[in-house]
Amino acid sequence: MVLCPECDTDLDVQEDEVDEGEVISCPECGTDFEVITTSPLELKAVEAGYEEEEALEEESEDGDYS
Ligand SMILES: [Zn+2]
């Protein structure tokens, strides 16, 4: 059993079912992890910053208007 390093959710990944370099996603927090080694299974969070960037402008209320 492999737990998500971010949120401790069971990622339901078997060591013998993944290959080095494979990327798996946590269904709970959505973080992507790359398989660094398979024995023991070691994961590394994939750098985000592409595609998932949400615009912060939609709710940029200053609060100074009445
Ligand atoms: Zn997670």
Residue 20 falls in which region: left (phi positive, over 0), alpha (psi -120 to 50) or beta: beta
Q: What's the gap in Å between 11 CA and the centre of ligand 1? A: 8
Average pLDDT over residues 57-61: 63
Q: What's the gap in Å between 63 CA and the centre of ligand 1? A: 35
Pairwise CA distance, residues 39 & 16, whole Å:
9
Contact 31, 25 (CB under 8 A): yes
Write down the residue that tokens 């339901």 correspond to.
12
Q: In this predicted model, what pLDDT tens digit does every residue of 17-54 receive, in sequence order?
A: 899 999 999 999 999 999 999 988 899 999 765 555 55
Q: What's the gap in Å between 61 CA and the centre of ligand 1? A: 31
Q: What's the gap in Å between 7 CA and the centre of ligand 1? A: 4
Distances (CA, A) of 51 to 24, 41, 45, 47: 17, 27, 16, 11
